[in-house]
Amino acid sequence: MQNLGIDVLFKGTNMLRLLGGLWVSLRISLIAVGFSIALGIPLGMLMTKDSKIVKAIARLYLEIVRVMPQMVLLFIVFFGTTRIFGWNLNAELASVIVFSFWGCAEMSDLVRGAFISIPKHQYESARALGMNSFTVFFFVILPQTLRRLLPTSINLVTRMIKTTSLVMMIGVVEVLKVGQQIIEANRNSSPNAAFGVYGTVLLLYFIGCWPISMLSKYLEKKWSNS
């Protein structure tokens, strides 16, 4: 069998650099996930209200995010807006902005869906027990909503982590880019590095996403009896 090209990873600090790249990927996605949750939940709750204007704006936002490829969004924000508005945006910040913009839209839609799936009777039976709107929301509606939200939002998080592989296109040195650099630098000494390095990158993504999936499975199981 051919040399798998894993050996390059043990040269110098290559493995450490790759892990550093993974951290960049995770950092971008986790910060974006943070923003998406923080902004998506209130936005999603707003979308359950009956206002036509709010609904129209939210709809428009959601559609824009859905039809636009993330890469185009990245290019617009990083190359486009920096010229037009003359501001200085580093590539990582631009990535966080784009991923938050995307995540927030998807998150708000998930939140909206989870909230409207709670039967009207749940509110009524809670109110009939003398609870005020605050108690109804925090003790009856919210816990049920979060349980329903969990699987879909975890799915969104892992999708966001995976999609960060795009940010190398605007010059962020994340795990895939580091892998590419390592392969380039060792083109002559280990021509098979592409397999070993990209294979390792794949494994690193798996290591990044798998625990999150497991956590979701665990919580789902723990909450399944409810």
- Select the residue interacting with another protein from 11, 55, 147, 162 (CB under 8 A): 147
Please list every residue from 207 through 226 that binds another protein, using CB under 8 A: 223, 225-226
Q: Which residue has the tokens 């790249």?
A: 21
Task: Name the residue type at position 48.
Answer: T
- Residue 103's nearest CA partner among 46, 27, 34 is 34
Binding string, residues 161-200; x marks residues near another protein by CB under 8 A: ----------------------------------------
- Reported for 59-63, long-range contacts at CB under 8 A and 24+ positions apart, including other chains, are 61/105, 62/105, 62/108, 62/109
Reduced to 3 states (helix: H, G, I; strand: E, B; else coil), residue 210 is helix
Rounded least distance, CB 221 to another protein, Å: 13
- As measured in angstroms, the least distance from the Cβ of 135 to another protein is 6
Binding window for another protein (CB under 8 A); candidates: 28-36, 54-62, 138-146, 174-182: 138-146
When asked if residue 137 is in the footprint of another protein (CB under 8 A), the reply is no
Q: Which of residues 106-135 bind another protein (CB under 8 A)?
A: 119, 121-122, 124-133, 135
151 binds another protein (CB under 8 A): no
Task: Tell me: does residue 143 bind another protein (CB under 8 A).
Answer: yes
Residues that bind another protein (CB under 8 A): 119, 121-122, 124-133, 135, 139-140, 143-144, 147, 223, 225-226
